[in-house]
Structure 1
Amino acid sequence: MSITLDTLDPRHDPEPAGWDELRTAAGQCVTWRYDLLRAYAWAAQAPVVLTVLRRDGVAVGAVSASLRGVLPHRGRYADRRDPAGVLDVHAPGNRSQKGWWFTADVEPAERGELLRGYARGVRRRLGPGWRSTVWREVSPGEPVLLPGLVKVALPTAPLAKLATPFAGMDEWYALLDRPRRESLRRRARSFAADPGLSVEVGPARGLVGAAEAAELRALNDLKYRSRLFPLAPLPLPYLEALVEGDEVIAIAYRDAGRRLLGLSLILDHPDWPVCLSWGALPPEDGGRKHLYFDGYVRMVEWAIAAGKAGLVLGKGQAEVKSGLGAELVPSSAIAVPL
C-alpha cells in the first residue's frame, strides 16, 4: 500500500477537492465542514494542521491536530511555528469525536498502517523538535492501532451514548428509576403548561441567532476552563456558519419576551447525532431551574421521532447521563513519543 499525505493549514489553504464527499462517506458530522475548520483554525489557541490520508492515491481518511509549541504566546498564536512541541490530535471544536477517521472500506490493519505513515510524515514536516503525539478520545481496543512502541495512557471522562431504539417515550421512561422518571414527567408537564415559557425544537437556523447562541455557549464553556488544553470559546463567525447551516438542530427555551433562557445544539447525523453543547441563564439572571434535565427529554423525543439509532450525549456529568440510560464508553488520552 502506498501512503501519501496532503497537509493543510485550514486558514490559508483552499478546500481539498472532494472534501465534503470524503467526510460524508466517512460518516463525519458538520464540524468537519471545511468552512467551519477554517473558522475554528483562525480562533484556535494553537496552529491547526489538517492532513488528508491517501491510500494508493485515493483519499480515505483525515487527521486534525493542534501544534502545542513550547514557546509562550500572548493571546492567539503568532503566524509561525515553534521549533519544538507536542502534536495534539483532537477533533476541532468538539471533544465527543476523535481527531482521526477513515472511510468504511479501510480495514483495521490498514488503519494502523495509515496512522504510522501519518506519524512519520508529520515528524518529517515539523522537524526533530516535535517529539511526541497525544491522541485524544481513544476507545478500548484502539491503542493497538496507534503508532509507537511506548504509549502512556491517561484515562479521561467517559463518552456517554444513549441508544434510542424506541417506538415511543414510554419505552425510554421505563428504563429509568422511578424517582427520575416521575421528576422528568412532572417537569415536562409543568413547562408545557407554563404560558411564560416556550420550547422549540428544529433546525437551528430558524430558531436561534449566532450572537445569543454564543452568549449561552460561553456560559457553559466557563465551567471547564481548568482542564488541560481547554477548548477556546467558539468564535462568532464559527457559530454563525454552524447555526445557519443544514446540519444542526436546536432546542431553544424562551420566556414570554422571547429572551433565550436555554439552548442545546445537536450536530445532526443519519444514525448518531452529537449533542454539541448546552447553555442556560442561571436563575439569578432570569433563567429557569431544571431546564437542563428537561433538555434531555426533548432530545430523546426528537431522536425517536427522527428515527435515530441513538444520541452521543458527550462528556461530563457521567452519573447523570448514566441515570438517563446512557452507556458510558471508557476513553483515554494516549501519549506516544515520536
Structure 2
Amino acid sequence: MRVELLDPRHDPEPGDWEELRRSAGQWVTWRYDLLRAYAWAAQAPVVLAVVRHDGQAVGAVSASLRTPRLRRGRYAGPRRGVAGIVDVHAPGNRSQKGWWWCGERDPALLSVYARTVRRALGPGWRSMVWREVSEGESVLLPGPLKVRLPTAPLARLALPWSRLEEWYAVLDPRRRDSLRRRAKTFSAELSVSIGAARELVGTDEAARLRAENDLKHRNRLSPVAPLPLPYLEALIGGGESIALTYRRGERLLGLSLILDHPDWPICLSWGAVPAENGGRKHLYFDGYVRMIEWAIGAGKRGLVLGKGQAEVKSDLGAELTSSSAIAVPL
C-alpha cells in the first residue's frame, strides 16, 4: 500500500477521486471542491490522504493538524507547526467519519496511513485523535494504547413507510398532536419550502443565519462559524444539497441544509431567527416533520438526523448510535 498526502488548498484533485468516493458511497461531504473550500476557511491545516493498493485508490482519510497557539487566528497559516495533534474527522460534518474505504474494512489501510503521517510530520506530532468511532471499531485503529472519550450519539431514523401518516402513527400521541398542530399553523402563516438549495436560498442570507445560530453554541470570544461563506457557496451551489426554508415575506426565519444521498441523506445544519428578534418558536421541531415527509416522498431508506438533542430525536423514532473520540499515541 502507498499513501498520497494532499493539501486540498493547493493540490489538484486526483484523477480517480470521483470514482473512488462514488464507489465507496461517499457523496456531498467528500466532493473535492468542498474539501478545498473547507481547507481554505479552516483554522488548522487539512491533510487529505488517498490510500492506494497496487496503484488503485482504495480509501481516504481526512485530518486537521492542530497545534497549540497562544492567539487563535481565523485561518490556518501556510505552514504546519512542528508539533501538535492529528485530528481525524470528516470536514464540516460531525455525522460522518473522517476515514473510509471501498469494500471490506481493512485495518491495514489505517496502519499504513498512521505510519506515513508520522514520517511526514516528524517527531513533534505525538498523538492522533479519531472522531466518531462506533462501538467495536476501536480495534481497527492502529496502536496498542488507546484512550476513549464518549461523545454525543448519532441519530438515524429508518423510513420503512410510504406515507407521513404511517410515521405519525408510531409517535407518542401528545408529540403527534403537537407536531400536527404546529405544522398546520406554520403552513398557514409562513412560506415553507423544501427542495434544491441553490433554488431556495442565497449564500449570504444562509451564512448570516448560520452564524447567528452558531453564536448560541460557541464561545462568544471566538465566534467563527463552522460553515463559513466559501464553504456555503460551494455547498449550496453544487446541486447536491437540499434546503428547507421558512419565510415571512422575503425574510428567512429558518433554514435546514440536507446533504442529499440516494439512501441516507444527512441533516447537516439548522439555523433560525430567535423569537425575540422576530422569529417563530418551535420551527426546529416542525423542521423534522418536513424533512421526514420529504425523505419518505423521495423514497429514501432513512434520514441521518445528526448529533445533539438526542432525546428529541429518540422521541421521533430515531435510533441512537453511541460514538467516541479515540486518542492514540504515535
How does the TM-score come out when normalised to structure 1?
0.94
Deviations 1:15-68 (A, max 9, x none): 111212211111112121111111111110100000001122110110000001
Structure 1 unaligned regions, length at least 5: none
Letter in 1 for 2:76: Y
CA distance in 1, matches of 2:134, 2:224: 21
CA distance in 1, matches of 2:224, 2:153: 17
Tell me the CA shift for residue 101 of structure 1.
Answer: 0.7
Tell me the CA shift for residue 232 of structure 1.
Answer: 4.6
Checking the alignment, whether the CA contact within 8 Å between 1:224 and 1:230 is kept in structure 2 is no
What RMSD, in angstroms, separates the aligned Cα atoms of the two structures?
1.6
Among residues 111, 132, 141, which one is paired with 1:116 in the alignment? Answer: 111
Checking the alignment, whether the CA contact within 8 Å between 2:89 and 2:98 is kept in structure 1 is yes
Q: Percent of aligned positions with the same letter in both sequences?
A: 72
C-alpha spacing 1:230/1:29, structure 2 compared with 1 (3 Å): farther
Tell me the CA shift for residue 70 of structure 1.
Answer: 2.9
Question: What corresponds to 2:23 in structure 1?
Answer: 25
CA distance in 2, matches of 1:141, 1:226: 33
Tell me the CA shift for residue 233 of structure 1.
Answer: 2.9
Range with bigger deviation, 64-73 or 158-167: 64-73
CA distance in 1, matches of 2:199, 2:177: 32
Question: What corresponds to 1:7 in structure 2?
Answer: 5
Query: Do structure 1's residue 79 and structure 2's residue 78 form an aligned pair?
Result: yes
CA distance in 2, matches of 1:312, 1:330: 14
CA distance in 2, matches of 1:133, 1:230: 26
CA distance in 1, matches of 2:229, 2:284: 24
CA distance in 1, matches of 2:88, 2:188: 47
CA distance in 2, matches of 1:96, 1:239: 17
Query: Do structure 1's residue 171 and structure 2's residue 166 form an aligned pair?
Result: yes
Query: Do structure 1's residue 212 and structure 2's residue 205 form an aligned pair?
Result: yes
How many residues were matched structurally?
A: 328
Deviations 1:197-247 (A, max 9, x none): 1001100010000011111111232233259x9985322121111111211
Checking the alignment, whether the CA contact within 8 Å between 1:44 and 1:232 is kept in structure 2 is no
CA distance in 2, matches of 1:328, 1:230: 30
Among residues 293, 307, 310, which one is paired with 1:318 in the alignment? Answer: 310
Checking the alignment, whether the CA contact within 8 Å between 2:41 and 2:230 is kept in structure 1 is no
For residue 216 of structure 2, give the secondary structure of its aligned residue in structure 1: helix
Question: What corresponds to 1:304 in structure 2?
Answer: 296
Tell me the CA shift for residue 301 of structure 1.
Answer: 0.4
Query: Do structure 1's residue 283 and structure 2's residue 275 form an aligned pair?
Result: yes
Checking the alignment, whether the CA contact within 8 Å between 1:46 and 1:77 is kept in structure 2 is yes
Tell me the CA shift for residue 289 of structure 1.
Answer: 1.3
Residues 100-139 of structure 1 mapped to structure 2, 5 A cutoff: 100-103=99-102, 105=103, 107-108=104-105, 111-139=106-134
Checking the alignment, whether the CA contact within 8 Å between 1:152 and 1:336 is kept in structure 2 is yes
Structure 2 unaligned regions, length at least 5: none
CA distance in 2, matches of 1:180, 1:189: 14
Checking the alignment, whether the CA contact within 8 Å between 2:263 and 2:301 is kept in structure 1 is yes
CA distance in 2, matches of 1:217, 1:74: 21
For residue 277 of structure 1, give the secondary structure of its aligned residue in structure 2: strand
Query: Do structure 1's residue 37 and structure 2's residue 24 form an aligned pair?
Result: no
